[in-house]
Amino acid sequence: MGNFSVKMGPGLVSAIMPISYVVLVNCFDYGGNDRNDPKSIRKRWKGALFSNIISIVATAYFLQDYTPTPFREMGFRWDEMAKAISFPFILMNGFYLGQFVMMYIDRTLWHYFDYYEWKMCFRSWAWRRDIIVGPITEELVFRACSTTLMYHVYGYKFTLFWNPVPFAASHFHHIWDDQRKGYSLAHSILQRGFQFVYTYIFGCFATYLQLITKHAMVPIIAHTICNAQGLPMWLEIANYPKRRDRIALYTAYIAGFAGFGYLLYTQQGMPSPN
């Protein structure tokens, strides 16, 4: 009973952190009508930052019972930073190899090398939220804090499969945003239910990266690239009229997934957790 009560405190905190992130973000934007409105985005950033501070302090406090270096255990370290950036960058861009080939065929790949395209992106509040602020603030709470603390309380397997649940479920609050935009309740639930599935899968993947590298930068980079690319578009291949294009796309997607699996399995170039 005593051991259970000792675990209950930090275990409960690790489960509540993801929920508190969503609650605080929405509380700071109370009364907002559009999450893409620049004013709402700025308010939500303040809520996310406040959540980060609370989560980091709480995690560091409870981790003192498990490790003498709580901040390093959360992944806040400068060593092996080059690997922490390059490994997820190569890993995720390999995963999306088919996407890049698709963009080349569609003649849209040049956007990545256009100065004005990048200038427009950085001027967009929604882009900065999705590609910079969102991945950083979410991964700090969900992975660096919640995952790390839950792992020390409940172990590897429990954390790997249960920690992503609140992360995935946190996207259900978008149902209210959808309702305000005029979508039906059934459409909103179906759309966010599908989002729950693929965000849960990504959550397991990001949790795995956090646990085996103990470097906060790794899941942040992976999250950023996933937000930038979205879901793989292999179902679109059938719409390409030219046979050679379809063959090239299928080959690229298969090669990319194979390379992704190889790197993840061999862990080549991955930062060490020590």
Instruction: Classify each residue of 143-152 as buried b or exposed e, where b means 16 or more C-beta atoms within 10 Å of its C-beta.
Output: bbbbbbbbbb
| 221 to 168, 213, 260: CA distances (angstroms) | 18, 13, 15
Asked about 187 being catalytic, the answer comes back as no
Residue of 73, 111, 117, 138 with catalytic role: 138
Residue of 73, 111, 117, 171 with catalytic role: 171
For 115, counting Cβ atoms within 10 Å of its Cβ (0-12 exposed, 13-18 middle, 19+ buried), the class is exposed
Under 8 Å between Cβ of 90 and 269:
yes
Q: Which of 151, 136, 121, 167 is nearest to 59 (CA)?
A: 151
Distance CA 138, CA 145 (A): 10
**Residue 78 dihedral angles phi and psi, to the nearest 5°:** -95, -20
Asked about 80 being catalytic, the answer comes back as no
Distance CA 186, CA 170 (A): 18
Distance CA 217, CA 140 (A): 9
Residues designated catalytic:
138, 171
